[in-house]
Amino acid sequence: MSKKFDENADRLRVKELYKFENELLSKGYNLIAGTDEAGRGSLVGPVVVAAVILPPNFYFAKLNDSKKISAKVREKLFDEIKAAAISYACVEVGIEEIDTLNIYQATIQGMLRAVSALTIQPEFVLTDAMKVDFGTIPTQAIIHGDALSASIAAASIIAKVTRDRLADEWSKLYPKYGFEKNRGYGTKLHLDAIKNFGPTQIHRKTFNPVKELLVKSEEC
């Protein structure tokens, strides 16, 4: 039997997620963006990066790190965040750029682009652990930020839902790889499919075991 939702307790929990934002508000920063990514560790497709500026202390029921909530809750929050946000943006950094730059640098580029794409530019940016130079905009990297900051959590949900929808489309093109379930991550089914059928056009060529298979095929 599922535990009954306690809105009062949830409101207190979500209120705590605005700790970093409220500290910045007290210092005179009114437009605070959170940014986060989805798909950094995947073997396929782009890394998706979102940036979100939330209204101060706005209550979103069950707001949390996207990995800690169900797909159903994520979908609901996805729509609620987009409707309530002062501004939001979501960008994709493609496979070629990931393979050229490396995934870390590609993610940084995604964060820069997502913040730049906001229709209202922030006065401060919070990131999930990654140190990014946003030029004249001050920033703070928060370890486990997607579980500690409302703005970063919101960005993680926008990025996660956007990328999961992409994975659902990939699964129709490549049904043998189970992308609708593994989202491109290295599950046994996915790794077995790569070994049996080879990498697809959307696999990242610099990620193992894809890289190893490509090297072996060149040697043959």
Task: Read off the CATH number of the domain in which 71 is found.
Answer: 3.30.420.10
Is residue 58, in this structure, part of any structural domain at all?
yes
Quick one: tokens of 172? 């129709």
Number of domains within the chain: 1
Q: How far apart are CA 199 and CA 205, in angstroms?
A: 9
Say which amino acid occupies 88.
Answer: Y
Q: How far is CA 116 from CA 35, 112, 127, in A?
A: 11, 6, 14
Is residue 204, in this structure, part of any structural domain at all?
no
Domain that holds residue 121: 7-174
Is residue 198, in this structure, part of any structural domain at all?
no
In tens digits, what is the pLDDT along the chain, a chain of 220 residues? 457 889 999 999 999 999 999 999 999 999 999 999 999 999 999 999 999 999 999 999 999 999 999 999 999 999 999 999 999 999 999 999 999 999 999 999 999 999 999 999 999 999 999 999 999 999 999 999 999 999 999 999 999 999 999 999 999 999 999 999 999 999 999 999 999 999 999 999 999 888 988 776 665 4
Is residue 160, in this structure, part of any structural domain at all?
yes
Residue entry with tokens 């729509």: 79
pTM score of the predicted model: 0.94
Is residue 181, in this structure, part of any structural domain at all?
no
Helix (H) or strand (E) holding 125: strand 124-128
